[in-house]
Amino acid sequence: MIIRLAESKDIEQLIRMRWDVTIESYPSKSFDESEFDSFQVECEDFLNNAIKGDRWFIWIAEEEGKIVSHIYIELIEKVPRPGSITRPFAFMTNVYTVKDFRNKGVGSQLLTAINEWAKKEQYEFIIVWPSDESVNYYKKNGYSHCKEPMEYFPS
């Protein structure tokens, strides 16, 4: 198992995985394969910018050239505060492992690499909004609950 940051050569696989996780996560919603082309254009643009930029870090677990798990990290800059060094925090999203590799430690290996990277880079903290099903996965990898955030939905 190779744990590494995504590269441009991974974009096609990452697009397909994003499509697949969405279909899996919303079984009651109907997705038409004809929608894939427009999604692919949008996602490819996002991934190209993310991989080339310095705000997004897409971590992958690769087995024999196939991406089997990924975690997206976005760095969030904080407003400086007197008396301390201001470091960004990391927002974790789009955590996904393909079915055949689940419950085999792949996700934990990936998360361990990210935790070590965040510590080395001295990011203030990592935040994730887990699904109910994934809470134990995060807990066993050193994460703890924080107070619930508040949301505002403009409409």
Task: Look at residue 68 and tell me if it is in a domain.
Answer: yes
What is the reported pTM? 0.88
The answer to whether position 148 is within a domain reads: no
CA distances from 122 to 21, 32, 67, 109, 138 (A): 31, 43, 27, 20, 20
pLDDT score at 155: 78
pLDDT(141) > 70: yes
Task: Find the mean pLDDT for residues 64-75.
Answer: 96
Whether 99 is covered by a domain: the verdict is yes
CATH code of 111's domain: 3.40.630.30
Cα–Cα distance, 87 to 79 (Å, whole number): 9
Query: Confidence class of residue 37 from pLDDT cuts 50, 70 and 90?
Result: confident
Mean pLDDT of 117-146: 88
For residue 151, the model assigns a pLDDT of 76
Q: What is the pLDDT of residue 152?
A: 63
8 belongs to a structural domain:
yes
Domain that includes residue 99, residue range: 2-140
C-alpha span between 39 and 136 (Å, rounded): 32
Whether 83 maps to a domain, the answer reads yes
Q: Is residue 146 part of a domain?
A: no
In a domain, 91, yes or no: yes
Mean pLDDT for the chain overall: 90
DSSP string, 118-149: HHHHT-S-EEE---GGGHHHHHHTT----PPP
Q: How far apart are CA 116 and CA 111, in angstroms?
A: 9
- 72-118 tens-digit pLDDT: 999 999 888 898 888 999 999 999 999 999 999 999 999 999 999 99
CA 70 → CA 7, 26, 79, 111, distances in Å? 12, 19, 29, 9
Q: What is the pLDDT of residue 153?
A: 75
Please report which helix (H) or strand (E) contains residue 20, including its range. Answer: helix 11-25
Structural domain count, the chain: 1
Label the pairing between strands 2-5 and 89-97: unpaired
On whether residue 90 sits in a domain, the answer given is yes
